[in-house]
Amino acid sequence: MSGLVTILRRDLALASRRGSEASLALMFFVLGTVLFPLGIGPDPNMLARAGAGLLWVMALLASLLSIEKLFQADWEDGSLDLLVLSGLPLAGIVLAKTAAHWLVTSLPMAVASPLLALLLNVDAKGVAALSLALLLGTPTLSLIGAVGAALTVGARRGGVLLTLLVLPLYIPVLIFGAGAAESAVAAQGARAHLLVLAAFLLAALPLCPWAAGAALRQSVE
Amino acid sequence: MFEGRDLACLRGERLVFGGVDFALSAGDALLVTGANGSGKSSLLRVMAGLLRPVTGTLHWRGQAVAEDREGFAAELRYVGHLDAIKPVLTVAENLAFWARLAGQGPDAVARGLEALGIGHLAGLPARVLSAGQRRRLGLARLIAAPAPLWLLDEPTVALDTASVAAVEAAIAEHRASGGIAVVSTNAPVSLPEARRLVMDEAEPVETVADGW
């Protein structure tokens, strides 16, 4: 357990030293969202209707964009070999690195989402549901992405392959995530959607690190 | 204590090596030599459990390595071609991570850096290190996080003569305390009473880079 905390802390330290990589995902999320009213017009009603979905798609793309690098640097400098040889379970290593990735990229997005939701004129009733849904849904995205990243680490044009592998698996999270805010606005309550998102997370939490660990063992060969 | 029987390694469709046998007991050293591309690095990766041999078995303390990869991994230190150094962290932070992962305290870091003569660089970011200093930082893991089995792939590349002597002294001390060292090298490294393994070169080698 302490070994996994050590890995988590190292990845957080690396992210804070590099800086730019961590803020890149958040910048992409914020700037991309701000561009939408310019593209589809400033009609408040249209933005209010599309807002939650827009934010979810942007969060999903920002997560995908950054997860590609999850194991890349460690693979390139030989750290991945040593992590595999550390004697720690591979699934635990994946979990620690994925947790660090989520804390650095997706958590700031969830925190920034209420502000952007107001910017897009999303009904105030839906804002809380939207942020909660992002908090529950984005860890699942990171975990699924980690499997793709482990499978494609070291592959040429891994990014394209990763997108093709992972994007279809993101769709259920997107549907229920965006649906949460919509049904909250329609006064039906977001409880059902949030529970489904929580179920996705509980399923992904043991399965994805295990699968990604097996893929990592292949990729160091 | 550490045995391999009839090991063979396949990369792509090419047989890198086959029929490799060795048996090492506590205090032994194995010197692996051979031309570039003869499979020295692949052999060390097989020994570490990073590569699966297509035939043959590895035994550690009488138990098959394949049965308990993680337990075996915790007892070995592998130093490959890459030094696993993060340029944005300081020299001490780089080493401290691997030491902490092996359950060692902060004093182990100072011990490792001193043994390889880079104690004065501890506070510098690792990106300013020269190739030889990076190598020494990679090797410092051996001292900072002790383990009974050392697998060293070309450990003396880029090192000056004083550092080569430091590495030789570290290996000698490791063996004296009952450790095992496997060293692949083309440079002269003094390993008294080491067993030798010469990788023969029966196969054409132009397609595969050493080590991958």
ipTM of the complex: 0.87
| Lowest-confidence pick of A52-61, A150-159, A203-212 | A150-159
Determine whether the interchain pair B76/A85 forms a contact, defined as Cβ–Cβ distance below 8 Å.
Answer: yes
pLDDT digits (tens, 9 = 90+) for A129-180: 999 999 999 999 999 999 999 999 887 777 888 889 999 999 999 999 998 8
User: Are B131 and B90 part of one and the same domain?
Assistant: yes
CB contact under 8 A, B88 and A14: yes
A3, closest residue in chain B (CA to CA): B101
A81/B80 touch (CB, cutoff 8 Å), yes or no: yes
Q: Identify whether residues B11 and B43 lie together within a single domain.
A: yes
Contact A82 B98 (CB under 8 A): yes
Q: Are residues B17 and B117 in the same domain?
A: no
**Token digits of residue B174:** 């490791």
**Structural domain for B31, as ranges:** 1-75+148-200
Nearest CA in chain B to A216: B50
Binary contact (B48, A85; C-beta < 8 A): yes
Residues B106, B19: one domain? Answer: no
Residue B168 and residue B142 in one domain:
no
Task: Assess whether pLDDT exceeds 90 at residue A189.
Answer: no
CB atoms inside a 10 Å sphere around CB B90: 17
Q: What are phi and psi of A218, to 5 degrees?
A: -65, -40
Per the structure, the count of domains in chain A is: 1
Interface of B with A (CB under 8 A): 48-52, 70-71, 73-76, 78, 80-86, 88-89, 93, 97-98, 100-103
The closest alpha carbon to B44, from B148, B182, B191, B203, belongs to B182
Helix (H/G/I), strand (E/B), else coil: B45: helix
Distance of CA B116 to the CA centre of its chain: 15
Amino acid making up residue B51:
L
Q: Does the residue B207 lie in any domain?
A: no
* pLDDT of B144 above 80: yes
Instruction: Indicate which of B9, B65, B68, B70 best probes the interface with A, i.e. most A CBs within 10 Å of its own CB.
Output: B70
CB atoms < 10 A from the CB of A94, how many? 29
Mean confidence (pLDDT) of chain A = 90
Q: How many domains does chain B fold into?
A: 2
Residues B92 and B136 in one domain: yes
**DSSP codes joined into one string, A61-91:** HHHHHHHTTTTHHHHHTTHHHHHHTTSS-HH
Show Cβ contacts of residue A91 under 8 Å, excluding neighbours closer than 6 positions. Answer: A209, A210, A212, A213
**CA A86 to CA B73: how far, in whole Å?**
6
- Residue B202 CA to chain centroid, in angstroms? 25
Interface contact B73-A85, CB threshold 8 A: yes
CATH number of domain containing B33: 3.40.50.300
Range of the domain at A156: 2-220
